[in-house]
Amino acid sequence: MKYLKYLLIVVAVLALVFFGKGLLTPSVSYENEVVVDKPANESWAVMSDESNLPKWIDGFKRTELVSGTANTVGAVSNVYVDENGTEMMMEETITALKLNEHMAMTFTMDFMDMDYEIFFKEEGGKTTISSKSTTMGNGIFAKSLISFMTGAMKEQEDKNLNNLKKLIDENTKNYFPKPEIETEPVIDSTAVSAEG
């Protein structure tokens, strides 16, 4: 009976620590950064190419536009990801956009919400890509769990950005083809005068 009492005390202390951390840390933030050997406009094009999304975002499956115009401020999409064999859906809303420089989004799901920003800064033919994430749990249990997962979430974003870096550095697709210039047919003036 004495051991059961000690066990209950230990469980109560662990629960207080777990939920206490969630109350003291309602949100967690982390930043990540990579540098690529390409200009900002090409880096942005590779990042936003929908066919590339599964190649750099771990678990990405597909996205479905719900409202607005794709890739514009106010656009809302359902994003589907694979989480250990289970398909999860989150709602993405684009909140800010400056082409080749900055994009901000909010992701909403039952368990948590996330504010996510990605920045592109070009200097000397190279581009620094940095991201900033702020995650908030929905409910005390989610807040507590997320407060213990900061390292794992930052590590996942590091992996995603390094995948993106590899894609950009190895990119051979021409995202900016030059339009073909149509030329007027050349009329042989000697042939015209000879007929006349």
Task: Give residue 101's pLDDT.
Answer: 97
Residue 109 is given by DSSP the state -
Distance CA 18, CA 148 (A): 9
Domains of the chain: 2-175 (3.30.530.20)
Q: Please give the average per-residue pLDDT across 79-105, as a whole number.
A: 94
Distance CA 115, CA 84 (A): 23
Give the tokens for residue 83: 């989480």
Which amino acid appears at position 51 of this protein?
Answer: S
The model's pTM: 0.78
| pLDDT beyond 80 at 5 | no
The string of pLDDT tens digits covering residues 123-170 is 998 999 999 999 998 877 777 777 777 888 899 999 999 999 999 999
Place 120 in a pLDDT band, splitting at 50, 70 and 90: very high
Task: Give residue 160's pLDDT.
Answer: 96
Report the Cα 149 to chain-centroid distance in Å: 19
Distance CA 2, CA 23 (A): 31
Stated length of the chain: 196
| pLDDT beyond 90 at 83 | no
Distance CA 115, CA 102 (A): 14
Cβ–Cβ under 8 Å, residues 134 and 24: no
Instruction: Please count the other Cβ atoms lying within 10 Å of the Cβ belonging to residue 194.
Output: 8
The string of pLDDT tens digits covering residues 38-52 is 999 999 999 999 999
